[in-house]
Amino acid sequence: MRIGFFDSGIGGLTVLHQALRFLPNEDYIYYADTWHVPYGDKPKEEVKGYIFEAVDFIVKQGVKALVIACNTATSIAVEDLRKTYDFPILGIEPAVKPAVQSCEPKHKKVLVLATPLTLKEEKFHNLVKRLGQDDLIDSLPMPGLVHLAENFQFDDEVVLPYLKEKLAPFDINQYGTVVLGCTHFPFFKNSIKRLFPDDVEIISGSVGTAKNLERHLEARNLLGNGTGNVIYYQSGIKVDDPATLTKYKELLHKLDYN
Ligand code: DGL
């Protein structure tokens, strides 16, 4: 059976990219909720409805595990999904913990970039509270990056002006780590890096999620013997248009999105 990957759009490809590195002998379903992207600036209950509809579809295709490759969807729905379905469902959350661990000894702060919905949610606030380092952690919603990614606009000419405007109120020299808390953001890692001092780390939760998936499959004896084949769906419709497939494959294999 395949492993399902779900995101509001193309962002989850940055997580699937890592899964293919750690688990090349699996086959996958990638589901982008193209009709409803972006999730991050919509009301929570509306988005929850979209997520359940999508997951219901993915489950009907038959999967042995599901990765909610979207920080926003994880924060609002992963617990309810786990209560509803009886197979491994993994989520992704902003990698705040490793960021705090690496920044604390350097007396630097952490900047978390995510969608407005992720940053508003209890799950994020609880995560920050648990670490007991509120004053070390700043956050900044960057919904514009989701729009740019969905329009396949990755060029510095359009990306840098947006990033500069959003970062203008911040003293970038106080940060040791920038956390990419939305799966669409690793596409812009190089542009983001350019705006911070050289020693600033830019991290995401995608490697951790891929390793977690591997651990789950191993522990349940669910490892497969596939070939890394991916079937793509957009809001319940199988993608077979060659131009879209080429774009997806390019994004999946092009960069190191860690
Ligand atoms: N890719 C998603 C995330 O990780 C959400 C993007 C959106 O639909 O707003 O949060």
Rounded to the nearest whole angstrom, what is the distance from the C-alpha of residue 183 to the centroid of ligand 1?
Answer: 6
Please state the domain count of the chain: 2
Q: How far apart are CA 42 and CA 36, in angstroms?
A: 9
Q: Is 75 in the pocket of ligand 1 (CB under 6 A)?
A: no
Q: Say how many C-beta atoms besides its own lie within 10 A of residue 217's C-beta.
A: 19
If asked whether residues 220 and 122 sit together in one domain, one would say: no
If asked whether residues 10 and 70 sit together in one domain, one would say: yes
**Structure confidence at residue 254 (pLDDT):** 73
**Structure confidence at residue 256 (pLDDT):** 66
**Structure confidence at residue 257 (pLDDT):** 63
Helix (H, G, I), strand (E, B) or coil at 35: coil
Q: Is 118 in the pocket of ligand 1 (CB under 6 A)?
A: yes
Mode of pairing for the β-strands spanning 201-204 and 175-180: parallel
Q: What are phi and psi of 47, to 5 degrees?
A: -65, -40
pLDDT digits (tens, 9 = 90+) for 37-52: 999 999 999 999 999 9
Q: How far apart are CA 52 and CA 41, in angstroms?
A: 18
Return the CATH number at 27: 3.40.50.1860
If asked whether residues 192 and 214 sit together in one domain, one would say: no
Answer with the one of 204, 224, 248 that is the final residue of a domain.
204
Cβ pair 67, 209 in contact under 8 A: yes
If asked whether residues 77 and 13 sit together in one domain, one would say: yes
Residues 6 or more apart in contact with residue 170 via CB below 8 angstroms: 111, 138, 140
Cβ pair 235, 36 in contact under 8 A: yes
If asked whether residues 181 and 215 sit together in one domain, one would say: no
If asked whether residues 104 and 193 sit together in one domain, one would say: yes
Closest CA to 32 of 252, 211, 212: 252
Low pLDDT (below 50) residues in the chain? none
Instruction: Pick from 15, 31, 115 the residue to mutate for probing ligand 1's pocket: most ligand atoms within 8 Å of its CB.
Output: 115
Answer with the one of 204, 219, 239 that is the final residue of a domain.
204
If asked whether residues 110 and 137 sit together in one domain, one would say: yes
If asked whether residues 8 and 87 sit together in one domain, one would say: yes
If asked whether residues 88 and 215 sit together in one domain, one would say: yes
Rounded to the nearest whole angstrom, what is the distance from the C-alpha of residue 146 to the centroid of ligand 1?
Answer: 7
pLDDT digits (tens, 9 = 90+) for 143-156: 999 999 999 999 99
Domain that holds residue 41: 2-92+206-257
If asked whether residues 35 and 66 sit together in one domain, one would say: yes
Instruction: Pick from 184, 185, 187, 209 the residue to mutate for probing ligand 1's pocket: most ligand atoms within 8 Å of its CB.
Output: 184
Cβ pair 96, 120 in contact under 8 A: no
If asked whether residues 167 and 249 sit together in one domain, one would say: no
If asked whether residues 216 and 242 sit together in one domain, one would say: yes
* Torsion-angle region of 235 (φ positive above 0: left; ψ -120 to 50: alpha; else: beta): left
Q: How far apart are CA 33 and CA 19, in angstroms?
A: 20
**Structure confidence at residue 255 (pLDDT):** 65
Answer with the one of 168, 186, 204 that is the final residue of a domain.
204
Distance of CA 247 to the CA centre of its chain: 18
